[in-house]
Amino acid sequence: MTLTTRDHAMRMLGVRLRAAGLSTPELDARLLVQGVTGASDIEMLREPGTRMSDEEEARLAVFERRRLAGEPVSRILGMREFWGLPFAVTPATLDPRPDSETLVETALALLRETAEPRILDLGTGTGCLLLSLLHERADAQGTGIDISDEALAVAASNAARLDLSARVSFRRGNWTDGIGGRFDLVISNPPYIRRGDIEALEREVREHDPLLALDGGEDGLDAYRALAAAIPDVLTQTGHAVIELGEGQGEAVRAIFEPAGMAVLRIVPDLAGIPRALVAALPRG
Ligand SMILES: C[S@@+](CC[C@H](N)C(=O)[O-])C[C@H]1O[C@@H](n2cnc3c(N)ncnc32)[C@H](O)[C@@H]1O
């Protein structure tokens, strides 16, 4: 046992991370100390004087070096909270972004009147969108598709951790290829970064999110073209598609979905006011 308390270690680490110019040093320090000690938020507050073991201190030193080398906290811990739920992340999955919670909120409102909804998640990654929806809607069933086997294994492990495996299936596929049947909700956060912009992304994104989750082709819109062509065949007549948008892509994506035979009902902003989720449906009547 060392003389260092959790609270002291957290504060000193926060000072060093701040000095290194990181944007959220105190939060990062708390999450990393919690990561090595297993202390909950409440334990961190109620028991600030708890001493750290030698092993915990040694692991924290390793975590600090990784953080200072630009690795995101979620990658160091292998976990990210999304919609208040824990999701494992690996090098094969996108690190779920808080902005994507706008899609979950929008989808839940659209599903309010639908009993036992069937949900399809295209490009599921960690499964964060689909599993958050299934967690909220105990009567829902879901299918998650990804082109990456490694991502699908992570999604399946997340479903098991959240006790949702019985209501979800994950399948490898290229968007909707080979999918039979129709769904009340199709949700997707596709890769939408312009290929030429990837080099200029923040290092934490460029070096740690998989290219497959970022690369939207030359103009960033390749996946939207594929989705607009495919979704009409898997959506019910009263169903909705909720699709994440990259910043500034709303009108370009509308101009892809409408000629593909879908009605764009609205574009929903995220908490920062940035248009984030496009809601589309089959034309009525
Ligand atoms: C931006 S990530 C989104 C992951 C997760 N849904 C989220 O919101 O955090 C896009 C995902 O689409 C998957 N993907 C890329 N191309 C695909 C394709 N042709 N068919 C199916 N999935 C694809 C990637 O592997 C990646 O997991």
Say yes or no: CB of residue 145 within 6 Å of ligand 1. yes
Residue 198 has pLDDT above 90, yes or no: yes
Say yes or no: CB of residue 147 within 6 Å of ligand 1. yes
Cα 6 to Cα 11, 17, 40, 54, 252: the distances in Å are 9, 16, 12, 12, 50
The model's pLDDT over 156-181, given as tens digits with 9 standing for 90+, comes to 999 999 999 999 999 999 999 999 99
The model's pLDDT over 12-38, given as tens digits with 9 standing for 90+, comes to 999 999 999 999 999 999 999 999 999
Residue 285 has pLDDT above 80, yes or no: no
d(CA 60, CA 70): 15
Angle made by CA atoms 73, 21, 65, in degrees to the nearest 5: 45
The model's pLDDT over 207-217, given as tens digits with 9 standing for 90+, comes to 999 999 999 99
d(CA 96, CA 79): 10
Residue 113 burial by CB count (10 A; 0-12/13-18/19+): exposed, middle or buried? Answer: exposed
User: pLDDT above 90 covers what percent of the chain?
Assistant: 96
DSSP states along 157-179: HHHHHTT-GGGEEEEE-STTTT-
pLDDT-derived band at 229, boundaries 50, 70, 90 = very high
Residue 2 has pLDDT above 90, yes or no: no
Residue 1 has pLDDT above 80, yes or no: no
Question: Considering only CA atoms, which of 119, 123, 103 is closest in space to residue 209?
Answer: 123
Compute the average pLDDT of residues 255-265: 97
pTM of the model: 0.94
Cα 138 to Cα 112, 117, 118, 125, 159: the distances in Å are 12, 10, 12, 22, 13
Ligand 1 center to residue 212 CA distance, Å?
7
Quote the pLDDT of residue 140: 98
Compute the average pLDDT of residues 225-250: 97
Say yes or no: CB of residue 128 within 6 Å of ligand 1. yes
| In contact, 64 and 29? CB cutoff 8 Å | no
For the CA of 100, the nearest atom of ligand 1: 8
β-pair partners for 142: 119, 168
